[in-house]
Structure 1
Amino acid sequence: MTQRQRRVRDRTERGQRIVTAARELAEAEGWDAVTTRRLAALIEYSQPVLYSHFPGGKDAIMAAAALEGFGELAATLAAARAAGLAGVARAYVEFAEAKPALYDAMFTLASELRFAEDDTPEVMKASFAELLAVVEPVAGTRNAGVLTEVFWSTLHGLITLDRGHRLSREHRDERLSLVVARFGVRGD
């Protein structure tokens, strides 16, 4: 391995260590607890080192964590795809419940990451494609992309309302079943 290759590898590992520490801290204490000062202390790097990897500071670190999350979500949904619409819906909800801070970074907190744009990162497109893959077969004559956006929005709404304790806990599974049943009806 050349010295340049070693430097690139070391830099990549440092960047990953920063993102991993941010994710762990966010899951334990929330994104408000994630600061460059605190991250620097946790991983024993100086703040300038963090900024050399992520010039945008916390926002850039959070965006990097979100991109990792989109990759994880795409893999989770792909693994659930054989179980159809219901399996993917359940997997999506379980992902959000298992990784609430990561889900917030991906979908709730302010971010420069945008869907449905020319420069949307491929990993984000892959997550949407996994949802589209189970909605498209039941779309019938409806626009499958738009129907997927509505399905996704509905899941997100249920997650957000559940997390905010706005809906009754005992009807949670019933609500998800109703969503799947409504979206599973072909729209010919």
Structure 2
Amino acid sequence: MSVQERKQRERAERERLIVATARELAERQGWEAVTTRRLAESIEYSQPVLYSHFRGKREIIGAVALQGAAEMAAAVRAATSAADGPRARVSALARAYLDFAARNPAVYDALFQLDGGLAYAQEDTPEPLKDAFAALLETLEEVAGDGVPPGRYTEVFWAALHGLATLTRAGRLLPEDAEARVELLVDRLAMV
């Protein structure tokens, strides 16, 4: 291995460490606790080293969001591939999405609430974000209904899931009705 390859590998490892540490800190204490100073202390590197990887917290949030998008896409695909039939796949998708949001609140915030400097629904949208949407579309396009563009249907279904995830986390919805809400959403929107 050349010196340059070793340096590239070490740089990539530092970057993974920064992102993992930011994510862990955000999940434990919230994004307010994630500062470049605290990150530098946690990873035992100087702040200039941290800035050599990311220009600031915004880019770190973006990196966490991209990692989270890939994980969410994998979780949705795993859940839907194990389900039998269109309705069961849509139901599995909804549960996987809501479970991901509940288990990873800081990552979910990085994806959908915070400014990570990422472009959504544009030509320059990063691949992990496009793939997360594609993971939803793959299942939802089969139940979109006649005359409804699958992409638009997916946006509406996703918006409903996002609303459920956000309102549940904020304590605005009764937890004991969570399952009934998912069933209602699937029954009303999934044209099977």
- TM-score > 0.5, shorter chain as reference: yes
Q: Name the residue aligned to 1:168.
A: 174
Residue 169 of structure 1, CA deviation: 1.4
Q: Name the residue aligned to 2:153.
A: 147
Q: Name the residue aligned to 2:47.
A: 47
1:93 paired to 2:92 = no
Partners of 1:111 and 1:165 in 2: how far apart?
A: 25
Question: Cα deviations across residues 54-90 of structure 1 (Å, max 9, x unaligned)?
Answer: 02x1111110011000110111111112221000110
Q: Name the residue aligned to 1:128.
A: 133
Q: How does 1:9-28 map to 2 (within 5 A)?
A: 9-28=9-28
- Percent identity of equivalent pairs: 52
Equivalent AA in structure 1 for residue 48 of structure 2: P
Question: Cα deviations across residues 35-56 of structure 1 (Å, max 9, x unaligned)?
Answer: 000000111000000000002x
Structure 1 runs (4+) deviating above 2 angstroms are none
Q: Structure 2, unaligned stretches of length 5 or more? A: 84-88
Partners of 1:86 and 1:133 in 2: how far apart?
A: 14
Q: TM-score, normalised by structure 1?
A: 0.96
Q: TM-score, normalised by structure 2?
A: 0.94
Q: Structure 1, unaligned stretches of length 5 or more? A: none
RMSD of equivalent CA atoms = 0.9
Q: Name the residue aligned to 1:62.
A: 61
Contact 1:81 1:130 in 2 (8 A): no
Contact 2:62 2:115 in 1 (8 A): no
Find the residue that maps to 2:71 and give its secondary structure: helix
